Amino acid sequence: MKIYSYKFLLVSGLMAIGSVAFSQSPLYKNKSASIPSRVQDLLKRMTLEEKVLQLSQLSFGNNTNANNIGNKVKNIPAGIGSLIYNSDNPVYRNQMQKKAMEETRLGIPILFGNDVIHGLRTVYPISLAQACSWNPQLVQQACAMAAKESKLAGIDWTFSPMIDVARDGRWGRISEGYGEDPYTNAVFGVASVKGYQGNHLSDSFSIAACLKHYVGYGASEGGRDYSYTEISQQTLWDTYLPPFEACVKAGAATLMSSFNDISGVPSSANHYTLTEILKDKWKHQGFVVSDWNAVEQLINQGVAANRKEAGYKAFNAGVDMDMVDKIYIENMPQLLAEKKITQAKIDDAVSRVLHLKFQLGLFDKPFATVLEENERVLLPASRKLAQDLASESIVLLKNKQQMLPIKSNIKSVALIGPMVKDRSNIMGSWAFDSKDEDAETIWEGFGKVFANQVAFNYAKGCDFDSTDESGFQAGIEQANQSDLVIVCLGEKKKWSGENGSRSTLALPAIQEKLVMELKKSGKPIVLVLSSGRPLELVRLEPLADAIVNLWQPGVQGGSALADIVKGNVNPSGKLAVTFPLTTGQIPTYYNMRPNSRTNTQGNYKDISTAPLYWFGHGLSYTTYQYDSVKISATKVKKNEKIVAEVTVSNTGKVSGKETVLWFISNPACSISRPMKELKYFEKKEIAAGGKATYKFEIDPMRDLSFVDATGKKFLESGSYFLLVGGQKVKIEIE
């Protein structure tokens, strides 16, 4: 008999115990196993109750969003699938996560989500402003910075980007998306997804994106939030779906179903959009979370008699996770027993949620890294990024006789208006985790940038929307003793964003009257506007020598504006949304379909029919000269490409960043198409006296095709036009 050494026996015994122990460690906890195998292993171990909890999201912490009404949930179950994390402190998250990992049978980590819309603590410009920068690379960087701040705050998932095409400025949420054009929303949505999600969701500072609000929310009737939307199947496909399709293809992890009713079928109970399009046609592998209480709101919308019916209608349509109304928790077991929903569909939804948690690495690293606040928020590089994006988002709308930048003979400037020393509204409507003291005011920015080169005189002049004119006199006095008057007007941040509908785009009368009074001083007037929507300027425009659209620029807006007024920065923003002349013109947008009469018949008889500023409008301190467009071919087959080029010269005295917008039109098609459609854009810096060549490689199937009411793209032979820099070039497709 072979004598085995004591050591050999000991090692063998340990290995045997180890292998037994190892074989009892479940596969789903094995980091080296594939995600699908870990999902399947975990799924088959779960009870129905555990599965239902994974399909539910509750609000956690101090919810400061007044629009999200709901009772604070006590005793949150440790097995909950997701929590809305109302905090920017990672410690609370880790405390709750510890419960999930240690006090539940399977230790499934919680997914913490929050609305990081345009920054967490380092707030950068609202999305509508970002689109006016025409700089998706910079937006991607800003979203990556926001993702890092969020991850270090304990957030794994942001309910962003919002990519709702919107053409009615009365709708306050126009501030949250990227304007009136589908292609613009697609490009900036993709840039945001890439910024948030990084190269891999498991990267240290990646967070999951959530495309919202799926779909058609921007068509809210009358601009009234939460209202009905009348959207034809054709318009659904050619206007509202394209940004979502682009972002799904870019790998967005999740989507959020919207509040609106789409022509009789609410979005959150719409099997066609949620399942047939999103999951069957686009093969989306992630999951859909409802908007806040949107499942329960199906009762208000008249398609469910009670919570239980709302639950199965939403779930069967394709809403995988229920946000805060607890309908899935309370009704799913009964609905399954009654065969109103199936086990297969429950398992599919749970698999989607678990899949994302594994992709994010939550099972292997469930806890957030805890750093001191000053090591993770408002870092100098983050503030610089916020200021750069604000600078490129500002749009110079008017500049009569080159009033701006301020000339050397200007020695004193009156800074007047409710926005001058405001540090709250400048942050915009989705900055719940920011602190007003983080923001730099316009007054502080001017003081920093001009550094005593100019004497600044201040008067508030009036409030945002009172009727009290007693402040006018101080404003007039400051104007009288200054060489130039800069009037800083605007909106309160709650006037836009969610539940921020207004019947008019005009600023309150008190603000307009202040400008009229200041005009009497005879001094040149620069109007600075801070808003979350396009404004009605029909009465203000004639009073101003220059108009600067600041939007809501975030923490560094003051310096960004001052740099432009001083001329340190040459404004490069262009509007991503049309400014109607008056509210009565709504809807008016650049890509409308043509009228049946091409003369002035049909125009308004009381005012001009043309808007004040079209989509794409934006002035510079320099001038650009577009050479004739060069095109590689004017007639091609459908599968052949065309290369179009245009050289732009900077014929002025200062360098500038010029965005070239390439449009197409198809005047004769089997269905009427928009008068023109943006298909590509590029922004480049051009030195004074220099030139740059911009190239658009046209793929007819991608760039000239259209989509029909079934979502089928088609490219017809015939004539098309390429439109760029005021030029129109004919292209024939054989």
Residues of this chain that bind ligand GLC (CB under 6 A):
65, 67-68, 115, 159, 212, 291-292, 498
Amino acid at the residue 204: S
- Are 146 and 158 a contacting pair, CB within 8 Å? yes
Q: How far is CA 103 from CA 31, 541, 675, in A?
A: 21, 63, 61
Kindly give the residue spans of alpha helices, DSSP state H, lying in 360-405: 380-393
Per the structure block, which two tokens stand in for 156? 């794994």
From 156, 291, 320, 563, active-site residue:
291
- Are 628 and 648 a contacting pair, CB within 8 Å? no
Instruction: With H, G, I as helix, E, B as strand and everything else as coil, classify residue 585.
Output: helix
Please name the residue that has the structure tokens 């008057």. 485
Per the structure block, which two tokens stand in for 717? 């032979």
Q: How far is CA 321 from CA 53, 55, 248, 317, 350, in A?
A: 9, 4, 18, 12, 9
How buried is residue 203: exposed, middle or buried, by Cβ count under 10 Å (0-12/13-18/19+)?
middle
Least Å from the CB of residue 597 to ligand GLC: 40
Query: Can you name the residues that pair with 211 across neighbouring β-strands?
Result: 255
- Of the two residues 212 and 617, which places its CB atom closer to ligand GLC in the complex? 212
- Of the two residues 325 and 563, which places its CB atom closer to ligand GLC in the complex? 325
Kindly give the residue spans of alpha helices, DSSP state H, lying in 86-181: 90-102, 127-133, 136-151
- Based on the residue annotation, tell me whether 433 is a catalytic residue of this protein: no
Least Å from the CB of residue 324 to ligand GLC: 8
Least Å from the CB of residue 116 to ligand GLC: 10
Q: Report the first-to-last Cα separation within the chain, whole angstroms.
A: 89
CA–CA gap between residue 374 and residue 366 (Å, rounded): 23
Residue 266: partners with Cβ closer than 8 Å, 6 or more residues away: 259, 260, 297, 298, 301, 303
How do strand 412-416 and strand 455-459 relate by DSSP bridges?
parallel
CA–CA gap between residue 188 and residue 177 (Å, rounded): 9
Active site (catalytic) residues:
291
